[in-house]
Structure 1
Amino acid sequence: MDNYNQFLSVLVLAAGVYIVYEYVKMLKTGHISEILLLGKGTPESRCKDREAYTKRAYPAVLVLAIVTMAYGIIDFLNFFVVSMAMVDLVFLVIFLIVLFGYMIYTSKLKKKYFRPY
């Protein structure tokens, strides 16, 4: 069980780093990330108001990146450096709340700003 938890710890930390990378890439290129915001098969060309969409979606990506990185770091420290199970549990709950909130929020944005098929 410990190996599984350690693997998940590293995986969450890597996901946090990847989300930060995608966020910075979106800011630099101006393209909307298919992985983080659109989903497979949704081209960004179907966006009705790109500026309004990115103005609302990018902060959500940043919050997800920060919380994922924070939880990844805490979880990593918990399993590899010093045991802090209660802090890890609190950050897990915060991470899950932010993750589900992100999914709901970005789904609503997609419905509002993208033309259907």
Structure 2
Amino acid sequence: MSSRFPTVVILITAAAFAGFAIWLTVMPNALLEAFGIAERTPQMATEIRAFYGGIEFGIAAAMFVLWLRGDLFAALLIGGLPLAGSATGRCIGMMADGFFGLHAGFAVMEAIAAVLCFVGCAMVSRGNSDG
């Protein structure tokens, strides 16, 4: 089985997580401004740095380490589950709160990325069960 597709998905997903982590660690106001939050507190900035910075960097690092170890399934699962959870949470929020805005676009992108990760999981699983 060719591992090109799963590998490409892993590397792009990990790079996206790392890119957002670096960007929002350095510029937490960017997220606040994107969602129309005019006033920022140090607590808000720290929370954005912790979750959008720290956790996303941790996901990227875990994906990369698992990829290096050859555990493509785990790397894809580590990337896909948070994306699926985030997309689901956004959809629930949009329905409950009646506000869509940027959330709809983010939900679509996250859902597509999650599906790609899960397709990669299926490809890797199928390849492992054949051999």
Structure possessing the higher relative contact order (Cα contacts under 8 Å, 6 or more residues apart): 1
